[in-house]
Amino acid sequence: MIPGRTIVVFGLLPAAAPVLAQPPAPARDAPATLAVMSFQADPQLDPRDTWLPLAVEETLAWRLRRVPGLIVVPTVRIEQARRELVEGGVTADGRRIAQLLGARRILTGTCSGNPDAVVVELKFGQLPLGGARASDAAAGEPTTVRLGPVRLFEALDEATRWCLQQLGASRLENERQQLIFARPAASSSALEYYARALAAARQDDPRSARYYLEQVLDYDARYLPAQVLLAQMEMAAESSRLSAAARIRAARDLARQTGDTLTVAQIDLTQGLLLLLARSPDAARERFENVLIASRRNGDPYGELAAMNSLCDSSLARLPPSEGLSELQREEFAKDSLKAAAQWQTQALQRLEALGDVVSQGPAATKLAMICERLEDFDQALRLHQRTVALAQQIGAKRAEASAWLFVGQTHRRMKRFDEALAALRRALSLAGDDDKLAVQMALAEALRAAGRPGDALSELEAACDRLRRGSDLVGQLRCLRSIAELRMELGLRREAIDPLQQALDIAHVLALPDEQGIREQLAAWGKP
């Protein structure tokens, strides 16, 4: 042991395991995960009641996630995947999204009527094994049912019973039965405003979402999903984190009273994230370890994943003791923290493999690759980035593939493999959309410059700047102009370098950017005429 060094023991830290360079084939004995998604409003539904499908979908998903032995994809993960799987402005088909998330079964539905006489039509089906390339014909015909018209809460109970029958889970222990069939909320109005809050959040309207959540709690102060979501939204602003902490503590007490262990774990995770934001990574780690243990006990792989990802983040955020360490000891501390983070992220990636979640494996592999780069394990980082390319190609996500090729190119450049770097970056450029081209062109120019081809790098940047001038991305123009100026100066073209730097200064001044002072100093150092 190094004298004066603080040692953090990662009691739950798993042994490192190999990471595959290519995504594995789906396991034939993988758990039959269920996706509850894509509930729709009947065309005749009154516009005032269009919240009903989302309320039914969320309540059924919440209940079914608490059935022992059943794995249900969280609806928030489905919504994230829906956003990620957009190509050319078109969202992927719901069944394909479910398959790529590893689901083998899918529950969809349609709602009509009103809260006092709602009709719910459910459709339960199997999904073929094999992800994006599987044939829907292999799944067979879905089972359907029409329930109602009955009052909303009665419809939810009938729908839950029917789903349990389809899943072969009709017999539940008394405590579990009471939890699952407890009254969803104090009133249907609470469910209505919660559904409206979710819809607003999905439309990137946090102000409306918070308003609706506050309305929920006016109708039902004990409605836990709203308490947790509002606390998570309050976390986003430092000024409201104390409020979030108090809210989440009260919610935890309520969850424990009802025996809702999944929500308790979710709350513990949120408390850990608050501690991480407060720069207390070791205290946060203890929370995340508790979440991991609880999630394993609950049979909740998604809770495990959240805990593993957060344990990775807490490892990355570890702070060395303020005193008593030499520079070498600080370097060792940082390296140990990175190694711990890599092990947790490896475990998260392997959990995603086991679930068959192709969509999430790419970002997880990229995160692990970046940690490997910080450890200067560029060979492993490159294998992971190449794996991300294969995953993006598997799901047909061109933007994700472009991003993966960009990382491949940058890693090759760091390894001084310039031909491979340039080939990968040109591949990225061919796939990138207009919003992403600048990042690729900047990386391409950097690779050309590192390869000893500053003239070609300059041509690449000038082409990028010409394209940017046809649009409205002024910040992008500023970055490009500064790089052009620096390259021209490097090539001995001082007079030609001044003009783009002056243009960059004008943009920084108009936009009141903090770059302005640095550009002024740069101009002065270069001896502006």
DSSP 209: H
Q: CA 77 to CA 36: how far, in whole Å? A: 11
**Cβ pair 241, 233 in contact under 8 A:** no
- Please say whether the beta carbons of 343 and 311 come within 8 A: no
Alpha helices, H only, 356-493: 358-374, 378-395, 398-414, 418-431, 437-450, 454-469, 474-490
- Rounded Cα distance, 426 and 383, in Å: 19
Q: Name the 3-class secondary structure at 187.
A: coil
Long-range contacts of 430-433 (CB under 8 A, 24+ apart): 431/398, 431/399, 431/401, 431/402, 431/405, 432/399, 432/402, 432/406, 433/398, 433/399, 433/402
Number of H helices, E strands in the chain: 22, 7
Q: Which residues of the chain have pLDDT under 50?
A: 1-30, 132-134
233 CB contacts (<8 Å, ≥6 apart)?
201, 206, 209, 210, 213
Cα dist from 226 to 16, 247, 251, 363, whole Å: 38, 11, 10, 28
Q: Is 289 exposed, middle or buried (0-12, 13-18, 19+ CB in 10 A)?
A: buried
Q: Could you tell me which residues come within 8 angstroms of residue 19 by beta carbon, excluding any fewer than 6 positions away?
A: 346, 349, 350, 365, 368, 380, 383, 384, 387
pLDDT on residue 10: 36
How many CA atoms does the CB half-sphere of 438 hold within 13 Å? 18
Which single residue is written with the structure tokens 């001896």? 527
Q: What is the pLDDT of residue 8?
A: 32
Q: Say how many residues make up the chain.
A: 529
Kindly give, in sequence order, each residue whose CB lies less than 8 Å from that of residue 238, ignoring residues fewer than 6 positions away.
277
Q: Is 13 exposed, middle or buried (0-12, 13-18, 19+ CB in 10 A)?
A: middle
Neighbours of 494 (CB within 10 A): 14
What is the DSSP track for 125-169? EE--SSGGG--GGGG-PPEEEEEEEE-HHHHHHHHHHHHHHHTT-
**DSSP character string of 16-30:** P----SSPPPPPTT-
Measuring CA to CA, which residue among 137, 157, 149 is closest to residue 56?
157
Structure confidence at residue 320 (pLDDT): 86
The CA distance from 178 to 191, in Å, is: 19
Give strand pairing partners of 185.
Answer: none
The Cα 40–Cα 111 span in angstroms is: 6
User: What is the token pair recorded at 360?
Assistant: 């999430």
The token duo for 193 is 């405003």
Burial 103-137 (b: 16+ CB within 10 A, else e): bbbbbbbbbbbbbeebbbbbebbbbbbebeebeee
Q: Is the dihedral of CA 473, 203, 235, 347 positive or negative?
A: negative
CA–CA gap between residue 408 and residue 528 (Å, rounded): 39
CB burial of residue 379 (10 Å; 0-12, 13-18, 19+): exposed
Q: How many CB atoms lie within 10 A of CB 172?
A: 16
User: Which single residue is written with the structure tokens 């430092």?
Assistant: 238
Query: Can you read off the two tokens belonging to residue 376?
Result: 């200067």
How confident is the model at residue 31, as a pLDDT?
A: 53
Interior angle at CA 84, CA 82 and CA 88, nearest 5: 95
Share of the chain above pLDDT 90, in %: 79
Instruction: State the Cα–Cα distance between residues 106 and 100, nearest whole angstrom.
Output: 12
Which residue shows structure tokens 């995160």?
367
What are the structure tokens assigned to 522, written together? 């740069």
Distance from the first to the final alpha carbon of the chain:
60
